[in-house]
Amino acid sequence: MRTAQPKIAAVTGAGSGIGRAVARELLDAGWSVALAGRRAERLAETAEGHAASRALCVPTDVTRPEEVAALFTAVRNRFGRLDFLFNNAGTFGPGGVPVEELDYAAWRHVVDTNLNGAFLCAQAAYRQMKEQEPQGGRIINNGSISAHTPRPHSVAYTATKHALTGLTKSLSLDGRPYGIAVGQIDIGNAATDMTERMQRGVLQANGQLAAEPVMDVADVARTVRHMAELPLEANVQFTTVLATTMPYVGRG
């Protein structure tokens, strides 16, 4: 069994929120991490306090194939291989917009970021993991509770998160011959800038506004690290981490 702990990771959307928490969790645990995100200054904030030899900041727009290619070239050039990709970059898009009013450009932006960006990063990581010696690695896609159950007025976000589940399953199947393990983490209400509004009140399926509980984003980061540090013979295919009393299971 290949039980050696992997140590080289790439995290997209590492400039804030869940991506920042996961990147810092890995860095604190001794990993070398390539931090990818659109804003260089936010990536530098994530890497602050960690050795420059282990924290590589690569400004990247995941919707642009050439920038994704440059990210993984930078990983190879700095670290020599890639053991783990946390495919995390995403956007919710315009909130509270009924489907009949959703602008196509807004729909396309969400699809390009959440789905096309995830595919481009997974494809590049897959290629590198297949070609490197020793072969193999792990990819974890950041899904969402919305990969199972939508919120009102979230058609673009929900559609892309459902699609990510198909991406996860296909990559997991195709990666088997090459020691590439692929899983998905579905997260509900981690406390980040993106979920701040939920504590003030968000639209529920019954048409009412209600505040929703959140959980510490560090709990998500620890879960991702646990998944990442399994030997490649073991895989968490799907896992759900959520604020215990959020309205998801049953009727609330």
Going by C-alpha positions, the residue among 150, 12, 32 that lies closest to residue 81 is 32
Work out the pLDDT band at 115, boundaries 50, 70, 90. very high
Work out the pLDDT band at 251, boundaries 50, 70, 90. low
- CB-CB neighbours of 53 under 10 Å: 9
Does the pLDDT at position 227 exceed 80?
yes
Look at residue 206 in the predicted model and tell me its pLDDT.
81
Burial level of 250, CB count in 10 A (0-12/13-18/19+)?
exposed
How much is the pTM?
A: 0.92
Q: Are the C-beta atoms of residues 24 and 101 closer than 8 Å to each other?
A: no
Place of tokens 């494809």: 123
27-41, 117-131, 205-219, 228-242, range with the lowest pLDDT: 205-219
CA-CA distance, 29 to 186, in Å (whole number)?
23
Give the three-state DSSP class for 244: coil
Domains belonging to the chain, first-starting first, are 8-242 (3.40.50.720)
- Percentage, residues of the chain above pLDDT 70: 96
Does the pLDDT at position 103 exceed 90?
yes
- CB-CB neighbours of 98 under 10 Å: 9
Look at residue 252 in the predicted model and tell me its pLDDT.
54
How large is the average pLDDT for residues 53-79? 98
Of residues 184 and 5, more confidently modeled:
184
- Residues classed as catalytic: 157
Going by C-alpha positions, the residue among 131, 25, 46, 126 that lies closest to residue 84 is 126
Work out the pLDDT band at 176, boundaries 50, 70, 90. very high
CA-CA distance, 150 to 229, in Å (whole number)?
31
Look at residue 126 in the predicted model and tell me its pLDDT.
98
Look at residue 70 in the predicted model and tell me its pLDDT.
98
